[in-house]
């Protein structure tokens, strides 16, 4: 008898019938764990690449902000009004872009760290199987 989700009702099967299905169930578990590990590695690799891109972008904006800081200092010391105000606006804009891109990279790192590791899932599955085996 099948349920709507495709699972069979195993109440009427014998012990030998259930033991006979054990190799297939173990094989399915191993295949599912390998698939989960591949998916985790692909997502983590993609996120690591995006994190690298955000940090490179932050460094790019920082690289172009440093000359603006120098121009601000020189112009600010030589003239007290409009030229240094323009340089200050440029510096603030550059630093704002640095902070935004670094923050986006940090958020991606946090998201990547919170993802479930397949090794943890495998150890949990092994612990569950061991507990069930200890009951019999």
pLDDT in tens, 96-114: 999 999 999 999 888 887 7
Structure tokens at 65: 């902000």
Tokens 């399915």 belong to 28
Structure tokens at 5: 């989700």
Confidence of residue 55 (pLDDT cuts 50, 70, 90): very high
pLDDT at 92: 84
pLDDT at 56: 93
Residues 11 and 30: their CA atoms lie apart, in Å, by 25
Judge contact between 40 and 116, C-beta under 8 A. yes
Bridge partners, residue 2, by sequence: 8
Report DSSP state, residue 114. H
pLDDT tens, position by position, 72-85: 766 776 676 677 67
Compute the residue count for the chain. 136
CB atoms inside a 10 Å sphere around CB 106: 14
Contacts of 44 (CB under 8 A, 6+ apart): 112, 115
pLDDT at 121: 75
């Amino acid at each position: 008898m099948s349920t709507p989700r495709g699972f069979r009702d195993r109440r009427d099967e014998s012990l030998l019938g259930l033991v006979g299905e054990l190799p297939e169930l173990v094989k399915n578990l191993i295949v599912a764990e390998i698939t989960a590990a591949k998916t985790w590695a692909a997502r983590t690799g993609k996120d690591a690449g995006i994190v690298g891109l955000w940090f490179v972008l932050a460094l790019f904006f920082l690289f172009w902000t440093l000359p603006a800081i120098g121009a601000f200092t020189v112009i600010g010391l030589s003239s007290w009004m409009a030229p240094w105000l323009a340089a200050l606006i440029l510096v603030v804009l550059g630093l704002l872009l640095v902070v935004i891109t670094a923050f986006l990279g940090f958020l991606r790192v946090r998201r990547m760290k919170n993802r479930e590791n397949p090794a943890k899932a495998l150890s949990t599955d092994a612990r569950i199987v061991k507990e069930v085996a200890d009951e019999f």
